Amino acid sequence: MPLHGFNEDEIREYILSSREQLGPRKFAALVRAFHLGDDQTLLTERPTNTSNPPRPRTVAAGYDYKSKTMFVRFRGEKVAPGHYQDGVGYEYYNVTRREWDRFRNAHSPGRMINTHFNNKPYSPAAW
């Protein structure tokens, strides 16, 4: 089944090609997220901060220091009052450790993504 316009072979190739760029733990987490659908070790910040607790924009995030890649899962659809299904993931590239720390401590990570990270290279996640 295609995911974000990519077929499984393209996603598998992308993950294998990222082995050199990612640290070993993040690479293993990316493989686990793709094959098992378990992104717990990829997205270590759960939940992310929010300025709007009833409707957070981001629900989880992670960072790989070696490749300077930030991983973010956004809120999905509402499944019950105050509860949302996990939504789409994105990868943001060329993110420094300082920017990652600022994101983790931001009162509104969604606003920070809009004002800062959307100016960086990013793509929908393959996981």
Q: What is the pLDDT of residues 52-68, one digit of tens each?
A: 766 778 888 999 999 99
Checking if the pLDDT of 80 tops 80, the result is: no
As a whole number of angstroms, the distance between CA 34 and CA 55 comes to 27
As a whole number of angstroms, the distance between CA 79 and CA 61 comes to 21
Confidence of residue 41 (pLDDT cuts 50, 70, 90): confident
Average pLDDT for 24-42: 83
Asked whether 108 and 51 are in contact (CB, 8 A), the reply is yes
Q: What ranges do the domains of the chain cover?
A: 8-124
Average pLDDT for 109-113: 92
As a whole number of angstroms, the distance between CA 25 and CA 64 comes to 9
Residue with structure tokens 């924009």?
Answer: 57
Asked whether 47 and 57 are in contact (CB, 8 A), the reply is no
Checking if the pLDDT of 18 tops 90, the result is: no
CA nearest neighbour of 75 among 90, 59, 92: 59
Sign of the torsion angle spanned by Cα atoms 106, 107, 110, 116: negative
Asked whether 61 and 71 are in contact (CB, 8 A), the reply is yes
